[in-house]
Amino acid sequence: MDLGSCYLGGNADAVEFCPHRPFRHVLAAATYTLQEQEQDRAGTVSLFSVDAGAEDASRRLRLLLTVDTAGVFDLKWSPVLPLLAQADAHGRLTLRRLEQEDGSDTGIVFTDVCLGDISSSMCLYVDWNQTSDSLSVGLSDGSLSVVSIREDRLEVAEQWAAHQYEVWTCYFDRARPHLLYSGSDDCCFNCWDLRESPSNTVFRKKKSHNMGVCCIAQNPLEGNMLLTGSYDEFLRVWDMRLMAKPVNEKSINLGGGVWRMKYHPSVADVVLAACMHNGFAIVKVGAGDATVVETYCKHESLAYGADWQISEEAEQNGNSSVVATCSFYDRILRVWHPANLVEL
C-alpha cells in the first residue's frame, strides 16, 4: 500500500531512516544532479517525517527541512548516535547531528558537526564501524579511505589503492571490525585486514561477478552470511567460512543491477533490494534457496535508494513494515507498506 510520495527536485539516489529514538520517524533523502553548464555536481539532503498510521494522508509523509550541498552519493546514520554521514561529489565527508529542541518536529535541528576533505576524487560510499569512531569511504579513483573522528574534526587514518576503478561500496564486518569489505567497477570483491598498515588483503575475488560489485550486506543474525549485489543482476550469498565461491544455490537473478540491499531490522532473512532497471524487490534469503517475496515497480526510473523504517509496531508485526524508496531520473521518493511480509 502506498503511503505517500514526493518530488525531490534533484536526481534521487539515497534514503536512510534514522534508527534512534525519538527520531525513528525521520527519513533522510539525498539528491545528486550534474549541472553541465557549471561543470559541477549539486545536491540536497532533505529530512521527512514518516507516520504510516496517520489518518490524514497528508501527514504520512511530511517535509521537515532541506539542506543544499554538493552532489550526494551516499548517506549513513551512525549506529550509536543520531549523526548522519554524507559522502559527496567534492571528495568530502560531512557529519550532521539531529536534535529536538521542544519535543516536536517543529523543534528539529540539523546541525553541521564537522566536514573533512577526504580526496580530490569523489566520495561514492560511506559506512560506519559499530563503535562510530571511524568511517570507511569508497572513492571514484579506486581508493579506499578509513577516516577517524577526532572530536570536531575528521582525520584520514589510512588511504590506499584498493581497486582499478570506482569503489561503489565498502562495509565493516559487524562481528569482526578489523575486516573491511569493498566492491568496485573492476568486478572485484575484496576483504582487507585493518590491523596492518597498509591494510593487508585477506582475499580478492576477481571472477565471481561478471560486472561491477555495487553493494554488500551482512546478515545481522548470522554473521557468517554475507550478500553481494552486482550490475550483472545477481544477488550472491557468501558463507564467510568458505570463501572459495558463492553459495551458488542461493544466488538469484533479480532482473536488474543490484545497487542497494538492506536487511529487515526485525524479520529474519528478509532483504530489500534496489534493482536499478527492475524496480525494488523483497527477497527471502534463508536456509533454502533465495526467493523473491514481493516486487515494487511504481517508480519509472532507476531504482537506487531503499531502506526499512525501524518501529515498535513492525518489530511486533512484520506486515506493519514501512519502506522508503527513491528513483534517480524521475526524482521521486515513495513510502509504502509491503504486502506479503506477514506470510513469512
Note down pLDDT in tens along the chain; length 344 residues. 899 999 999 999 999 999 999 999 999 999 999 887 777 899 999 999 999 988 998 899 999 999 999 999 999 999 999 999 999 999 999 999 999 988 788 889 999 999 999 999 999 999 999 999 999 999 999 999 999 998 889 999 999 999 999 999 999 999 999 999 999 999 999 999 999 887 889 999 999 999 999 999 999 888 889 999 999 999 999 988 877 666 655 789 999 999 999 999 988 899 999 999 999 999 999 877 889 999 999 999 999 999 999 976 655 555 569 999 999 999 999 999 998 876 55
Q: Label residues 327-336 b or e (16+ Cβ within 10 Å = b).
A: bbeebbbbbb
Do 139 and 119 contact (CB within 8 A), yes or no?
yes
All residues at 6 or more sequence positions from 222 whose CB lies less than 8 Å from its CB, including other chains: none
Q: Which residue, 227, 233, 239, 288, is CA-closest to 263?
A: 227
Look at the domain 2-343 and name its fold: Methylamine Dehydrogenase; Chain H (2.130.10)
Q: Any idea what the Cα angle at residue 169 is, between residues 88 and 341, rounded to 5°?
A: 105
Cell of 147: 577516516
Q: Which residue, 11, 5, 9, 74, is CA-closest to 302?
A: 11
Q: Which residue, 141, 152, 144, is CA-closest to 115?
A: 152
